[in-house]
Amino acid sequence: MALWSRVRSWLRATVGRSRMENEMDAELRFHVEAYAEDLIRRGVPRQEALRRARLEFGGIENAKEGCREARGVHFAETLLQDLRYGARTMLRSPGFTITAVLALALGIGANTAIFSVVNAVLLRPMPFDQPDRLLQVWHTPPQKSFPGMPTFAVSPANFLDWRNQNHSFDGMSAYGFGRYTLTGTGHPEAIRMVAATVGLFSILHAQPLLGRGFLDGEDEPGHEHVVVLSYGIWRSHFAGNPDVVGKNIQLNGQAFAVVGVMGPEFDFPIFSDQEARAQMWKPLAWTDQERAIRGDHNYAVIARLKAGVTLRQAQAELDAISNRLAQEYPNDNKGWGAIAIPLRDDLVGDVRPALLILLGAVALVLLIACANVANLMLARALSRRKEVAVRTALGATRRRLLQQALSETLLLAFAGGALGLVFAHFGLLVIVKFLAQRLPRSSEIALDGWVLAFTLGISLLTGFAAGLLPALRMAKADLNQALKQGLGRTAADSGGSRTRNVLVVSEVALSLMLLIGAGLLIRSLWVLHNVNPGFDPSRVVTMAVSLPTGKFVEPAQQISYFGRVLDRVRTLPGVQSAGLIDSLPLSDDGSHQPISIEGRPAAAMADLPEVEVRLISPGYLSSMHIPLLSGRDIDDSDAAGRPGAVLISESMAKFFWPNEDPIGKRLTLYFFPGLTREVVGVVADVKISAMNETQPAPTLYYPLAQMSAARGENWNSFGMNLTVRTNAAPLSAVPAITNSVREIDAEVPLLNIRTMDDSVSASLSPARFTMLLLGAFAGLALLLAVVGIYSVMSYSVSRRTNEIGIRVALGASRGNVLLLVVRQALLLALLGSVIGIVGALALSRLMASQLYGVQPTDPITFVTVAALLMIVSLAASYLPARRAMRVEPMAALRYE
Amino acid sequence: MAKPIDLLQGTLDMLILKAVSLGPLHGYGVLLRIQQISRDRLEIQQGSLYPALYRLEHQGWIASEWGESENKRKAKYYRLTAAGKRRFQTETDKWNRMADVIAGILSTTPEEV
């Protein structure tokens, strides 16, 4: 209310300026005339009365000025005046202005770009109704069998028990991800399919755009041939035709009724890789046998918390249920717990540390930019002391001077902010391009209203941060001294140069911290590049061969199909060798299972050791150049019906047979009982999920031909990855390979065609990208610090011209003068480095999760970076020092 | 007649609020009203009245509109707003408390210390 009246009266006073002036005039005239009339009535002659009335009123202009002031006219007017004046001063010194605006634009731009990413990925609510009530529920595996693995997929029987026994959730849905072959719409195409128990859409509170979601009972076997389309596939494959609802489509050779179409915004599960978005959803229908499976963990689970139930209460209940299940089914469930994780944390847990590090880094860059601009402003404030003194003498108040100085930096900051937005826009294009496959929700990254508000906010903050110190100094200037000293070239302003030294030291310290962070990442990337993945990725091309479910039902059919594929591919020109594996190295989607070793005591499943299990064909090892360390490779003689043969990795050999020869030892796979398999060879360890794996995972390879049960489930298809080593450029062999595979069976889709080199590179790309960004920010920081040192040294030299002249006149050599200047620069850099190293020691621990093979306190990095900074500081002080060396004593003494 | 005393700093606002609380007044009327109720014992700089009026209006304690004066001329009239009424009340209470305290201090005799 009171605020509104003020704004109204302020607007009336500023916008309706002339009207207010007229009214004020009329009001004051009325006063004087009314008074005069009173006097006339009391008998004073007319002329005299008017004179006295005016006299007693006092200065009319004074009163008007007071009125204007009361209305805040002044503030607005002086602000405009200041801004105009500021703009003029800035245009008069373009060098200063460009430097300052550029420094601020880079700082603000970097902050805006990284904030946009953080905003989209970490801050913006998930695109669901009441997203903070949505939880992802996982198993927690026994740490003995799965050291270091925090969560694990869920088995059907355990999921059903959780769902039936809990009182915390408004619904729980298990879902899995698979590929279905869509036929009847052109080429056979592999469709990314999610199979989920019927509660999925209601748990997400998701309404279909057309038709319906799943009905109760549609997850019974025999009733599950219904499918919901994603908006994307509806538009691309069904021309966005609403009539498709109710029609049948062919998936894996079976008819599915389309019952609904989701809206364009619906995306579940959300993947980091946009290319992995689900295209269709179908009910997950477990048979009675499948419903009883406890020990095989294959599903993800989403749940919605009931209103009024806290995460902690839900977790407590899950713990209680898990304990009960572990006692009831010790063979499968001993040591297996459950954990509920908020959906967003589950999704972004991996990228959060890297993003926060980058956010911290850009904040440091902005601080350095602020210090830099403050420094430049200080130098200018000192050279403008006379101007300030004159203005003070003419009656400018301290407040007025402060306001003027601050409005200048604010102007700089807003110019920097505007340019920063442009930088951020282009920076984001690059970031999104690089991160599209690694960052969840990267498509939502945009310069939206929140980001603009953020940019506006930090521009304002930056303006104040950079401007307050110089403004205070400017307003404090001592009138008499300044006027007496003229331009003030003597050493009287030691306070000013102390402030500037402090600023430069902090700039050096902050940029050293950033450089050390970047240095550590560069070191660990270098280590990663030199890590031996266990195979030779060069000239190897891989592709997934995905079998439609309905077509190859028996293991024998699947085996013979892949046999034919290998035979054909091996005869192609340019192909050196070819093999098959169910999940490729560095792919992170392999399976593990427990094993029991002949001659060792039988144990419950939970107590059995787990190993990575891979299905391979003969020729896989040679196509990937994985070294055979002892024994023999598998070959065509290891066929169905022959004695079981397996290869094991070096780490598996060391783990189970530390002091024995593993060759000839016999073991059984838990999920494929009935066939005892003999270790026939030991191969080198391979990075199975990522290049930055710290410990090799014990791995077992068994031949495709000895696959005892058909792979793939009723809702998922089975596929193998073809690995082909070529003579020349690997991708040039692709057309021939795909053609020959299609010739064998045109309905088998080929997916994910890429070279192994690309896979290695992709595995390093998050680390490389974090490194590149942090490196860029550190480089920026270094540049700003150099500018800071340079400007302080130049200023110091020009201020000491007199002194240097005297020294030279008294016999100082050029070397002495050089030393004088360089020593000062080195001292600043040294002090900054020491503080920076202490800061880096304290902060680099936060980066531990991003490092590989390098300690956060790596002395080599610390020393190298500090040395680099010293050299750069030396270089920055060279130009000013050279200027100092050329000082002519006579000219310098006459300079005053 | 005793010589009029100068106005204490900050009290002009209170006097204006009191004056317009008795009914809408134009600027000159405010001056007359204050002189009348103070029985000419206060000296008010006429020119200083208007910045004070503008300030009070800016703060929303008084409001103004143009009307016709006694001698049929256009004049700007000020009246107290609801917010101004509350403000006047608190200012009055504060003033009274202050006056009590000061009077108490000034009337203290050596024996009482």
The closest CB to that of B58, out of A23, A63, A72, belongs to A72
Find where tokens 């305290």 sit. B101
Q: What is the pLDDT of residue A490?
A: 45
Q: Residue B72: inside a domain, yes or no? A: yes
Q: Does A34 touch chain B (CB under 8 A)?
A: yes
Which token pair is B95?
């003033």
Burial string for A224-241 (b: 16+ CB within 10 Å, else e) reads bebbbbbbebbeebbeee
A1 has a pLDDT exceeding 50: no
DSSP string, A3-62: HHHHHHHHHHHHTTHHHHHHHHHHHHHHHHHHHHHHHHHTT--HHHHHHHHHHHH--HHH
pLDDT of residue A146: 73
Token duo for residue A424: 């951020």
CA atoms within 13 A on the CB side of A380: 23
Contact A231, A210 (CB under 8 A): no
Which residues does chain A have within 8 Å of residue B26's beta carbon, measured at their own beta carbons? 27, 30-31, 34
Handedness of CA A398, A400, A405, A406 (dihedral sign): positive
pLDDT of residue A109: 93
Round to whole Å and give the CA distance between A68 and A199: 69
pLDDT tens digits, one per residue of A50-68: 888 888 888 788 788 788 7
Mean pLDDT, chain A, whole residue set: 85
Give Cα separations from B16 to A162, A434, A574, B22, B82 (angstroms): 76, 69, 102, 10, 15
Does the residue B112 lie in any domain?
A: no
Number of domains comprising chain B: 1
Query: Residue type for A206, please?
Result: A
Percent of chain B surpassing pLDDT 90: 10
Residue B1 inside a domain? The answer is no
In a domain, B38, yes or no: yes
Does some domain include residue B91? yes
pLDDT above 50: residue B4? yes
Question: For residue A491, is pLDDT > 50?
Answer: no
d(CA A409, CA A414): 9
Which tokens sit at A354? 């890297």
Q: So what's the pLDDT on residue B5?
A: 67
- Which residues on chain B are in Cβ contact (under 8 Å) with A63? 47-48, 50-51
For the segment A179-223, what is each residue's pLDDT rounded down to a tens digit? 788 887 777 788 889 999 988 999 999 999 999 999 988 988 888
Residues of B near A (CB-CB distance < 8 A)? 26-28, 31, 45-48, 50-52, 54-55, 57-60, 69, 71, 73-76, 83
pLDDT at A488 over 50: no
Distance CA A459, CA A107 (A): 10
Q: Where are the alpha helices (DSSP H) in A58-199?
A: 60-70, 73-92, 94-118, 156-165
**Which two tokens mark A326?**
């572990």
Q: Which residue of B has its CA nearest to A5?
A: B60
Angle between helices A801-809 and A814-843 (to 10 degrees): 130
From A65-79, A408-422, A546-560, A599-613, the region with the lowest mean pLDDT = A65-79
Cβ(B55)–Cβ(A70) below 8 Å = yes
- pLDDT tens digit sequence for A505-532: 998 999 999 999 999 999 988 888 888 9
Gap between the Cα atoms of A582 and A580, Å rounded: 7
* Tokens representing residue A508 in the block: 């050096």
Interval A546-564 mean pLDDT: 82
B6 located within any domain:
no
Are the CB atoms for A256 and A209 separated by under 8 Å? Answer: no
Asked if residue A482 has pLDDT above 80, the reply is no
B81: domain CATH number is 1.10.10.10
**To the nearest whole angstrom, how far is the Cα of A472 from the nearest Cα of chain B?**
29
pLDDT at position A602 over 80: no
**Other CB atoms closer than 10 Å to residue B37's CB: what's the count?**
14
Residue B76 carries which side chain, given as an amino acid letter? K
> Is A56 within 8 Å of chain B by CB?
yes
For residue A307, count CB atoms less than 10 angstroms from its CB and return exposed for 0-12, middle for 13-18, buried for 19 or more.
Answer: exposed
Give the list of residues 6+ apart from residue A365 with CB closer than 8 angstroms, or none: A106, A107, A110, A111, A514, A777, A780, A781, A784
Residues A765-800: pLDDT tens digits? 878 888 888 899 999 899 888 888 888 888 788 778
- How far is A549 from A178, CA to CA, in rounded Å? 11
Pick from B49, B54, B64 the residue to mutate for testing the A interface (most A CBs within 10 Å): B54
Query: Does residue A862 surpass a pLDDT of 90?
Result: yes
Read off the amino acid at residue A364.
L
C-alpha A327/C-alpha A889 separation (Å) is 94
The β-bridge partners of A178 are: A193
d(Cα A263, Cα A260) in Å, to the nearest integer?
A: 10
- 8 A C-beta contact, residue A856 and residue A516: no
Predicted pLDDT at B40: 81
Half-sphere exposure of residue A819: CA atoms within 13 angstroms, side-chain side: 6
- A684 vs A631: CA distance, rounded Å: 12
Q: Which of A389-393, A467-471, A567-571 has the lowest mean pLDDT?
A: A389-393
Q: What is the pLDDT of residues A426-459, one digit of tens each?
A: 999 888 887 766 777 877 888 888 899 999 999 9
- Per-residue pLDDT, A73: 64
Tokens of A605: 């499943």
Contact at 8 Å (CB) between A518 and A830?
Answer: no
Q: In which residue are the tokens 């029991």 written?
A: A596
User: In chain B, what residues touch A74 (CB-CB under 8 Å)?
Assistant: none
Q: Can you tell me the ipTM of this complex? A: 0.87
Tens digits of residue pLDDT in A284-324: 989 888 888 888 888 999 999 999 999 999 999 999 999 99
CB spacing of B27 vs A2 below 8 angstroms = no
Q: Give the pLDDT score at A280.
A: 94
Look up residue A729 and give its two tokens. Answer: 């450029």
pLDDT for residue A707 is more than 80: yes
Question: Does A129 touch chain B if contact means CB atoms closer than 8 Å?
Answer: no
Residues forming beta bridges with residue A179, ordered by sequence position:
A192
Using one digit for the tens of pLDDT, what is the confidence trace for A566-588? Answer: 999 999 998 999 999 998 999 87
A140-154, A453-467, A704-718: least confidently modelled range = A704-718
Helix (H, G, I), strand (E, B) or coil at A259: strand
The answer to whether the Cβ–Cβ distance between A27 and B46 falls below 8 Å is no
Does residue A737 carry a pLDDT above 70?
A: yes
3-state secondary structure string across A383-418? HCHHHHHHHHHCCCCHHHHHHHHHHHHHHHHHHHHH
Tens digits of per-residue pLDDT, A313-354?
999 999 999 999 999 998 888 889 999 999 988 888 778 888
User: Both tokens of residue B10?
Assistant: 């900050």
Say how far apart CA A401 and CA A407 lie, in whole Å.
Answer: 10
H/E element holding A226?
A: strand A226-229
Both tokens of A420, joined, read 């920063």
A600-604, long-range: CB within 8 Å, 24+ apart, which pairs?
A: A604/A330, A604/A331, A604/A332, A604/A334
User: pLDDT band at A154, cuts 50/70/90?
Assistant: very high
- Least CB–CB distance from B47: residue in A1, A34, A58: A58
- With a CB cutoff of 8 Å and minimum separation 6, the contacts of A697 are A611, A612, A649, A651, A685, A688, A689
CA dihedral A151, A156, A158, A161 (to 10 degrees): 140
Instruction: State both tokens at B48.
Output: 């200083």
User: Which comes out higher in pLDDT, residue A325 or A8?
Assistant: A325
What pLDDT is stored for residue B1 in this prediction?
Answer: 43
pTM comes to: 0.73
User: Binning pLDDT at 50, 70 and 90, where does residue A19 land?
Assistant: confident
Residue numbers of the domain that contains B29? 12-107
* pLDDT tens for each residue of B17-63: 999 998 899 988 898 888 888 888 887 888 888 888 888 888 888 99
pLDDT band at A395 (very low <50, low <70, confident <90, very high): low
The kind and range of the H/E element at A547 are strand A540-547
Token digits of residue A496 = 């000013």
Compare CB distances from B51 to A30, A56, A70 and report the shortest one's residue: A70
CB contact under 8 A, B45 and A72: no
Higher-pLDDT residue of A894, A482: A894
Spatial CA neighbour of A50 closest among A58, A42, A40: A40
Say which residue the tokens 């002091």 belong to. Answer: A659
Query: What does the buried/exposed string (b/e) look like for A782-798 if buried means 16 or more CB atoms within 10 Å of the residue's CB?
Result: bbbbbbbbbbbbbbbbb
**Helix (H) or strand (E) segment spanning residue A577:** strand A575-581
For residues A750 and A681, the answer to whether their CB atoms sit within 8 Å is no
For residue B4, tell me if it sits in a domain: no
Beta strands in A756-868 (DSSP E): none
Q: Which residue has the higher pLDDT, A834 or A378?
A: A834
Res. A487 pLDDT band, cuts 50 70 90: very low
pLDDT tens digits, residue range A620-675? 999 999 999 999 999 999 988 889 999 999 999 998 898 899 999 999 988 888 88
Cβ atoms A850, A521 nearer than 8 A: yes
User: Which residues have C-beta within 8 Å of that of residue A790, sequence separation ≥ 6?
Assistant: A876, A877, A879, A880
User: Which sign, positive or negative, has the C-alpha torsion A250, A251, A255, A257?
Assistant: negative
Q: Is the confidence at residue A81, as pLDDT, over 50?
A: yes
**pLDDT of A14 above 70:** no
The first and second tokens of residue A741, run together, are 């595979």
Instruction: Give chain A positions within 8 Å (CB) of B50.
Output: 24, 27-28, 31, 63-64, 66-67
- In eight-state DSSP terms, residue A214 is P
